[in-house]
Amino acid sequence: MRIIKAFNAIDFTHERFKNQNDIFTDIKNIIYRRTDLASPLSEFLGTILVVIILIYGGSIILNDKHFMNAETFIMYLMLFVSVINPAKSLTSAFYFIQKGKASINRIQYILNAEEVIEESPDAKPLKTFSNKIEFKEVGFAYEKENFVLKNINLEINKGKTIAIVGASGAGKSTFVDLIPRFYDCTAGEILVDNIPIKKIKIDDLRNLIGIVAQDTILFNDTIYNNIAFGKTDVSINEIEEVSKIANAYDFIMQTPKGFQSIIGDSGNMLSGGQKQRISIARAILKNPPILILDEATSALDSESEYLVQQALEKIMANRTTIIVAHKLSTIKNASTIVVLENGQIAEMGTHNELIKLNGIYYKLSQMQSLK
């Protein structure tokens, strides 16, 4: 409504809705008219047919009694009348079969959708992360020959913080999406503890990874259930503890029912910073050894960003962290900063090293007035 009013599109939207509604109404009227006429029309036609048979057959019997006697004629007439109702039911059944067929086709389109990411039959379990993540000549394309990432070679050692920066469209989010196998590499391979991720059980791989994204996904449920999402044996004490680490406890306790408060569709009853802190609490509860932060603070105001950044610093301690960032001020202390340009690693080093290069990172930092 805000957008419609802001762009003075009330009449335009009303007219478009009216046209679509009129088309829908006409189609429904045709369907209902035919459905409602089917039963009385078949009754009327059946009755007319019985009358015709009765007149025609009766005249034959009256004129030629040797052709068929009255008792036999009445028996055949009763048999014919008895068949009318089952015949009507058969036509109705055909209509419902066609209707159900249309519905099942839509359902099967979803149920039979091709599984793009498949687990290898000889996949190995991996319960802990102890060494490093390694990218070897990794390339990825959403479409053939249109590579988003090319020739990525990178080692991410356990306990280190790696930051991924670059212009929009450089391939930053795609880079981190390859690690939990939301997509599979088009070229090269990614290894975790020297095991190709395609050879690791998908559930085990994703259990090692916690993700805090810019677009926070929350459910129309209680705060408690959103934080405990995916877990069934979580105590309220654990939920309270992780919410305190995520700087979320205070605002949660100010809600009408505390942890049992419903937060609405996509958490629309919370502010952006509050939703992000709930997301961080959910990640802390999972306690993953590998943490992916995909522009987790880019859409927040200064106060919310400060609180979220504090929470992130707590969760990043003693974890292998991969940060995708637009705001360079949030990644100055990263162990290694990787600069992507056109899907390739253009620069790599610490903040001070990249500033001295006077290259892409330096220009980005100057644009953001980073001192």
pLDDT digits (tens, 9 = 90+) for 21-73: 999 999 999 988 887 887 787 778 878 888 888 888 788 777 776 667 777 77
Examine the domain organization and report whether 231 and 308 are in the same domain: yes
Please tell me the total count of domains within the chain.
Answer: 2
Examine the domain organization and report whether 324 and 180 are in the same domain: yes
Is it the case that residue 20 has pLDDT exceeding 90? yes
Q: Which residues contact 124 (CB under 8 A, 6 or more apart)?
A: 195, 199, 200, 201
Q: What angle do CA 332, 361, 307 make, to 5 degrees?
A: 35
Examine the domain organization and report whether 101 and 136 are in the same domain: no
Convert the pLDDT of each residue in 301-335 to its tens digit. 677 677 777 777 777 777 899 988 877 777 888 88
Tell me which residue of 294, 339, 300, 293 sits closest to 167, measured CA to CA: 339
Which region among 10-19, 53-62, 145-154, 240-249 has the lowest average model confidence (pLDDT)? 53-62
* Gap between the Cα atoms of 325 and 312, Å rounded: 13
Task: Tell which of 78, 111, 144 closes a domain.
Answer: 111
Examine the domain organization and report whether 325 and 184 are in the same domain: yes
Examine the domain organization and report whether 136 and 103 are in the same domain: no
Tell me which residue of 317, 285, 321, 337 sits closest to 133, measured CA to CA: 321
Report residue 19's pLDDT band, with 50, 70 and 90 as the boundaries: very high
Residue 176 lies in a domain: yes
Give 79: exposed, middle or buried? Use CB within 10 Å, 0-12, 13-18, 19+.
exposed
Of 274 and 63, which is predicted with more confidence? 274
Is it the case that residue 246 has pLDDT exceeding 60? yes
Examine the domain organization and report whether 174 and 83 are in the same domain: no
Residue 253, token pair as written in the block:
């306790």
Task: Tell which of 61, 80, 111 closes a domain.
Answer: 111
Examine the domain organization and report whether 197 and 323 are in the same domain: yes
Give 59: exposed, middle or buried? Use CB within 10 Å, 0-12, 13-18, 19+.
exposed
Examine the domain organization and report whether 289 and 185 are in the same domain: yes
Q: What are 146's strand-pairing partners?
A: 143
Report residue 75's pLDDT band, with 50, 70 and 90 as the boundaries: confident
Of 190 and 283, which is predicted with more confidence? 190
Task: Tell which of 111, 146, 167 closes a domain.
Answer: 111
Examine the domain organization and report whether 215 and 317 are in the same domain: yes
Contact at 8 Å (CB) between 282 and 227? yes
pLDDT at 369: 60
Looking at the chain, how many residues does it have? 371
Give 131: exposed, middle or buried? Use CB within 10 Å, 0-12, 13-18, 19+.
middle
Of 205 and 88, which is predicted with more confidence? 205
CA 281 distance to own-chain centroid = 21
Examine the domain organization and report whether 87 and 157 are in the same domain: no
Is it the case that residue 370 has pLDDT exceeding 50? no
* Gap between the Cα atoms of 362 and 366, Å rounded: 6
Convert the pLDDT of each residue in 277-287 to its tens digit. 888 888 888 88
Highest mean pLDDT among 82-86, 158-162, 273-277: 158-162
Examine the domain organization and report whether 203 and 336 are in the same domain: yes
Share of the chain above pLDDT 90, in %: 30
Strands 320-324 and 132-143: unpaired
pLDDT at 371: 45
Other C-beta atoms lying within 10 Å of the C-beta of residue 216? 21
Q: What are 136's strand-pairing partners?
A: 189
Examine the domain organization and report whether 150 and 274 are in the same domain: yes
Contact at 8 Å (CB) between 298 and 308? no
What is the residue-averaged pLDDT of the chain? 85
Q: Which residue has the tokens 């058969």?
A: 90
Is it the case that residue 89 has pLDDT exceeding 90? no
